[in-house]
Amino acid sequence: MPQTTALLLLPDGQAIPESVRRWVDAHRFPVMTIATADELMAVSMRTRPRLVIIDARTNPVTALKACQRLKADSYTGIVPAVVCARGDDKSLGAAFDAGADEVLREGVPPSEVTLRLDALLRRSDRDTFVHPSTRLPGGMEIELEITRRLTANELFAVCYADLDHFKEYNDRYSYYDGDRVIRILSKILHDVVKGSCGEEGFVGHIGGDDFLFVIPVEHIAVICEEIVGCFDMLIPYQYSEQDRRAGYYFGKDRRGQLHKVPLMTVSIGVVTNERRVLTHAAQISELATEMKSYAKTLPGSVWTIDRRQDAPEGEPAAEPPVEDGP
């Protein structure tokens, strides 16, 4: 992971509890010790550490103000903050009020310290790796899932779903309405994929109106057709009655010229390892993007699957045949 540094904020210069130190050493985090809130913010803004441990036992006012500053900023607020506090209930409440994600009071057994800090990192990873609006896994988890299936030598399909005419919809309605459409699509993808293949299916959110789902190859047609059908059934109701009845509206292009904009559709590009050797996530991402781009050139909501196969060694690759969904 890129976030590897543990920051220790020790405003009074006192060492952190031995049980916490042993936990940090066991995880082999590079450690940086700092003394002021200004330094904490500067380092956190620059590096986004794995976690911050704040000693508030002897100088709680200064320490907890630093914690408040860390958690108040949208960039540094996702960094898990651990506060080492005195043993009384008042100190516990003050630490949580300051935004601490975990509070370790004096007297906590070392075994409990380990359990609680390990759980904190798991919660942090879970919260960081999902998209905030859809709660679906993001780019890092998508890459890990594809790599896992490659390592396991599974036959699988990577499907890249993208909305057509989404920008024009945002321009005509609002970003709030656009967010609702994205949540609708995420729900369709999640429910169809999980309903069809359960834990064998994976749905991730790349960002914006771009999604990626990974499924066993035998489920491609059923899942893609159901996604397209559900989307086309639900999306007209995200428009005004006038636009819905007409099936289009007039919008402006980048040059300010009016043109007809059809209702939104969904395009899905599918890549599999049935006929070719796929070796890494970046290669698969490039191929899926290519297939999605091709799907977007076709009218309506469609899915297209790449049917290319690896050419024999020494021969040029054939022109890519594709299969279009209905």
- Tens digits of per-residue pLDDT, 111-120? 999 999 999 9
Residue the block writes with tokens 């005004």: 240
For residue 321, is pLDDT > 80?
no
Weakest mean pLDDT among 11-15, 178-182, 260-264, 276-280: 11-15
H-helix or E-strand containing 184? helix 175-197
Torsion of CA 82, 94, 115, 42, to 10 degrees: -10
pLDDT at 256 over 80: no
pLDDT beyond 80 at 324: no
Q: Is 91 or 314 the better-scoring residue by pLDDT?
A: 91
Structure tokens at 162: 């993208």
Q: What is the mean pLDDT of residues 120-146?
A: 86
Question: What average pLDDT does this structure show over 126-140?
Answer: 82
Q: What percent of the chain has pLDDT over 70?
A: 94
Angle between helices 175-197 and 220-234 (to 10 degrees): 150
Region 208-227: mean pLDDT is 97
Average pLDDT of every residue of the chain:
91
Residue 3's pLDDT band, with cuts at 50, 70 and 90, is very low
Residue 255 has pLDDT above 80, yes or no: no
CA–CA distance, 139 with 126 (Å, rounded to integer): 13
- pLDDT of 155 strictly over 70: yes
Position 314 pLDDT exceeds 70: no
pTM of the predicted structure, to 2 decimals: 0.75
Residues 6 or more apart in contact with residue 92 via CB below 8 angstroms? 85, 103, 105
DSSP 185: H
CA-CA-CA-CA torsion for 86, 91, 95, 98, nearest 10 degrees? -140
CA nearest neighbour of 47 among 7, 99, 83: 7
Q: How confident is the model at residue 1 (pLDDT cuts 50, 70, 90)?
A: very low
> No. of H helices and E strands in the chain?
11, 13
Q: Residue 313 — very low, low, confident or very high, per pLDDT cuts 50/70/90?
A: low
pLDDT above 80 (res 2): no
- Is residue 253 pLDDT above 80, yes or no? no
Distances (CA, A) of 61 to 12, 65, 84, 122, 229: 11, 6, 13, 29, 58
Q: Does residue 240 register a pLDDT over 70?
A: yes
Tokens linked to 109: 């057994």
Give 65-96 pLDDT, tens digit per residue.
999 999 999 788 989 999 999 999 999 999 99
Residue range 254-258: mean pLDDT, rounded: 78
pLDDT attached to residue 126: 80
Task: Decide if 151 contacts 54 (C-beta within 8 A).
Answer: no
- Domains along the sequence of the chain with CATH: 6-128 (3.40.50.2300), 139-324 (3.30.70.270)
| Centroid of chain to Cα 207 | 8
pLDDT exceeds 80 at position 299: yes
- Report the DSSP pairing between strands 265-272 and 302-306: parallel
